[in-house]
Chain A
Amino acid sequence: MSTRPTLAVFKFASCDGCQLSLLDAEDELLAVAGAVDIAFFPEASSRMLPGPYDIALVEGSITTSHDAERIQEVRKQSRFLMTIGACATAGGIQALRNWGDTAEFLQAVYARPEYISTLATSTAIADHVTVDFELRGCPINHHQLVEVLSSLIAGRRPRTPTHSVCLDCKRRGTVCVTVAQGIPCLGPVTQAGCGAICPAYDRGCYGCYGPVKQCNSESLGDHFIATGSTPGELVPLFRNFNGYAPEFRAESDRLARRAEGV
């Protein structure tokens, strides 16, 4: 019998990009695969063992009543449950339906909406079960994933950086796109992990790693308004891949109210 920890990967409403990140860790993949017992990872293997599992990676958000039940079962089967990516940690881009009329959305996409069963909302995994660790990003960074898995295998509690993207730009020596070009950028309120790539490519951060702890989204929103943006333009900036994360949600709702003059 193997004493290696068992690893399982579960998918809910998602694009598969976060679990693909594991296969994208080409240099470390075979080492990781050797250090754990991949018990359930349908995307990569047909060997599918029943639970319980030591480490479960959960990708995707909850959008159907069936998935709402399934996540409970996954939780029961998993000793350490880690969510990977913005879908699982904040509801993902599909959470835009939470501000809309899902029945009308269905009608817009499907000729026969009655064939489709879905919930009115897309919600984070933590809204349904206890989550032991969250790895942020849309998509997650595979270096972070490998590091977190290595910590878990070694029996250590994983840690990820808690500073903002803004700080990583300074470390990289990227000229600030907001200061130099007046581009609205979510770097100051977004958690690091991506490597601060957007400003290095001459565009503003769109927050795909979600809100950094104790971020002040409201003052950033006000700053953009003071420097010429309209509240209406700024709503979608806060309301995208992590739009339903509480801090970003509050700010986009505030900006939307201001845009409507409420």
Chain B
Amino acid sequence: MTEARTIRVEAISRVEGEGALHIRLQDGQLAEVQLNIYEPPRLFEALLRGRALEEVPDITARICGICPVAYQMTAVHALEAALGVSISPEIRRLRRLLYCGEWIESHALHIHLLHAPDFLGYDSGLDMAADFPQEVNRGLQLKKHGNRLLEVLGGRAIHPINIAVGGFYRAPRREELAALIPDFEWGLQAAIETARWVATFTFPDFTPPYEMVALVHPDEYPFNAGDLKSTDGRTVKMEDYEREFEEVHVAHSTALQSVRTAGRTSYFVGPLARINLARAQLSPTALRLADELGLEQPCCNPYKSIIARALEVVHVYEEALDILRDYQSFRPSRIGYQYRAGAGSWATEAPRGLIFHRYSVDEHGKVVTAKIVPPTSQNQLQIENDLSTMLPSILHEPDDQVALKCEKLIRSYDPCISCSTHFLKIHREEIPCRPPGV
């Protein structure tokens, strides 16, 4: 007699949620794990068609309020590739600075308000503030610096308005950026304290064999240039992304799920992948700290992503300070271009991992097709596989414990803010059923 059992982890933290987990067991064995990412589809790739290419950075920003810059950066680079535009070194540096702002804001939020409560046993960062006022306030200050930088350079922190195909609508004045230096000097020290703090947390012993993928560049930490490198040793040119990685549409998700084309296997993107593949490019202070904290090379424990994130915050503060100190305003802030029919693709590193865009445009500067692959859809299959690996060892535990452990694992990927808080409710069903044909 076989027995089927279904464990549903429903996403009804809200009246209805964006994420759910379905686990099916057959004869006590794990038969299926599905991470159901449920976001009402907003159909960006369709609604971009026919829009002027200048609008693409403004529109794609609205895909995600947590990492709009990642969408804007990837979009402008892909469109510049389609138009044959080369940006100046000054614009390139300013784009790195902009990305620093987003990484600080996004990582500081995740570390202090969303992820640390998992290790310290709180419902939220806000609840944690009573017992850890110094750490939470430090996190809020760090986050604020990231936002301030985005405001000065981008016009505002959420959906910046200063990002154009070809560069920036206006290059900031030297004094505008120089005013940020004292805060960033404080922030670098604060970020080091945060990294030392999170390294003291207790991490579950969990190290699956991952294939990790990140953008790598010979002389800079992954942001918006380079080739795609995998921990299996392979290097893929950015323009070959779509040959190596494929999106599949699975019934349980409104997000398309990415796989390696060969073998349809999962892969891991994000801070841990970047540190594993580009550790040598970390800023001097971040690199010394990685060694001091004893972060393994490579580190394959997804929970330790919080350490990777904290080291990246140190890195971006140090890099941002370099750029801020050297900065001189410049012209033109935007490289001109002629419309031409063509296609271009690009990948950059969002705070939570690799992001890829491809556009084709017509001779009037209108978008013909758009393809957007966010980091979360690339990590989705990996998260499911991780849950399959972990679940057999915890299924004997009570429902709430199983749910909590699943959530913590999912959250360590920082999948997106709405999925990255405590959203799972668990139901267990034991359904005895007859074996087929009986």
Tell me the bound Cα distance from A110 to B417 in angstroms: 24
A63 contacts chain B at the CB level, 8 A cutoff = yes
Given contacts A42-B17, A43-B421, are A201 and B169 in contact (CB under 8 A)? yes
Could you tell me if B58 and A17 are in contact, using CB atoms closer than 8 angstroms? no
For residue B113, which residues in chain A have a CB less than 8 angstroms away from its CB? 23, 44
CB of A16 within 8 A of CB of B40, answer no
Q: A26–B143 contact, CB under 8 A? A: yes
Q: How far is the CA of A109 from the CA of B157 in the complex (A)?
A: 29
Q: Which of A2-56 contact B (CB under 8 A)?
A: 10-21, 23-24, 26-27, 29-30, 33, 38, 40, 42-48
B8-52 interface code vs A (CB 8 A; 1 in, 0 out):
000001111110000000000000000000011111111101011
Shortest CB–CB separation between residue A19 and chain B, in angstroms?
8
Interface flag for A81 (CB, 8 Å): no
Q: Which residues of A201-222 have CB atoms within 8 Å of chain B's CB atoms?
A: 201-203, 206, 208
Chain A's closest residue to B12 (CB) is: A48
Q: Shortest beta-carbon distance, A129 to chain B, in Å? A: 13
A67: which of B40, B66, B249 is its contact (CB, 8 Å)?
B40
Q: Name which of B121-129, B224-232, B307-315 contacts chain A.
A: B121-129
- B23 to A: closest C-beta gap in Å: 20
- In contact, B41 and A44 (Cβ under 8 angstroms): no
Minimum C-beta distance from B254 to chain A (A): 6
Q: Is B416 an interface residue (CB 8 A)?
A: yes
CA distance A195 to B251 in the complex (A): 44
Q: Chain B, interface size: which category?
A: 35 or more
- Confirm or deny: B65 has a beta carbon within 8 angstroms of a beta carbon on chain A: yes
B55 within 8 A of A: yes
CB of A10 within 8 A of CB of B15, answer: yes
Interface residue ranges, B against A (CB under 8 Å): 13-18, 39-47, 49, 51-52, 55, 58-59, 62-66, 68, 109, 113-114, 117, 123-127, 129, 136-137, 140-141, 143-144, 147, 155-159, 161-162, 164, 169-170, 247-251, 254, 256, 416-418, 421-423
Listed in ascending order, the chain A residues whose CB lies under 8 Å from chain B are: 10-21, 23-24, 26-27, 29-30, 33, 38, 40, 42-48, 60, 63-64, 66-67, 70, 73-74, 92-94, 96-97, 100, 102, 104-106, 108-112, 115-116, 118, 122, 138-139, 194-195, 197-198, 200-203, 206, 208, 236, 240-241
Show 10 A/B contacts (Cβ-Cβ < 8 Å), sorted by A: A33-B126, A44-B124, A45-B422, A46-B117, A47-B123, A66-B16, A109-B46, A115-B249, A116-B41, A139-B158
* 10 pairs of A and B residues whose beta carbons are closest in the complex: A17-B65, A46-B422, A45-B124, A105-B46, A13-B40, A94-B42, A108-B46, A96-B47, A26-B144, A15-B65
